[in-house]
Amino acid sequence: MSSAPSDLQQIYRTRFEKNVEYRRQVWDVLCAFFARWIKPQDTVLDLGCGWCEFINAVKCARKFGMDLNPDARSHANPDVTVVEQDCSQAWHVQAGSLDVVFTSNFLEHLPNKEALERTLESARYALKPGGLFIALGPNIKYLGGAYWDFFDHYIALTELSLEEVLVKSGFEVRENFGRFLPYTMSQGRQYPLWMLRAYLSMRPAWRFWGKQFFVVASKKA
């Protein structure tokens, strides 16, 4: 599949236009959960920001969103700086300027493992010493063939393979959950938000319904 911006626009609109408001509400809940890792004074970059649901909702001092999809600019709040570029190339972000790089359901869309390594190297360059790389994504270990239900999935990852490449790229993994959220919000039932809040608070439940990994790593000094 082409990674041209127009292709990204078309796929994203087809996949998510029908549940935009629900996704926004879900990210409000998720950002409250992620507040234990993201401080109000932090500078945060949302890698593969899409329609900016996370970066619009997160509480922090400075906000960046990186994506090739030109729709990102129209969905970003005024306090978000959109960096429209290929993340596997050198980032147009100042070295050591970020406290957190956050990414959700994006790494599997990179074309190959070499692009993933280059992306992690750029993230490490842009982070302050001790800065965090936080990643969510579908875990091939628990999905089987359903992983390939999305045409733009290329790299199959587990929490362990992601940990390996993070360590190789100069990070130290601090938290690693193989099971976190269910697989996708683009298909299926829209559950009440109180159920999501309850689910996030009960880690034993993650073992039964979680199909995504959740990894937090820090940049080594």
Instruction: Using the predicted structure, report yes or no on whether residue 198 has a pLDDT greater than 90.
Output: yes
pLDDT of residue 176: 98
Max Cα distance, the chain (Å): 44
Q: Which residue has the higher pLDDT, 191 or 59?
A: 59
Tell me which residue of 153, 146, 158, 154 sits closest to 212, measured CA to CA. 158
Which tens digit of pLDDT belongs to each residue from 115-141? 999 999 999 999 999 999 999 999 999
Cα 81–106–129 angle (5° rounding)? 60
DSSP string, 117-185: HHHHHHHHHHEEEEEEEEEEEE-HHHHGGGGGGSTT------HHHHHHHHHHTTEEEEEEES--S-S-S
In angstroms, rounded to a whole number, what is the distance separating the alpha carbons of residues 154 and 9? 18
Position 1 confidence tier, pLDDT thresholds 50, 70, 90: very low
> Length of the chain in residues, anyone?
221
Which tens digit of pLDDT belongs to each residue from 3-50? 566 555 555 545 556 678 888 999 999 999 999 999 999 999 999 999
> Domain 5-219: what homologous superfamily?
Vaccinia Virus protein VP39 (3.40.50.150)
pLDDT of residue 172: 98
Which tens digit of pLDDT belongs to each residue from 141-195? 999 888 888 888 999 999 999 999 999 999 999 999 999 999 875 556 788 999 9
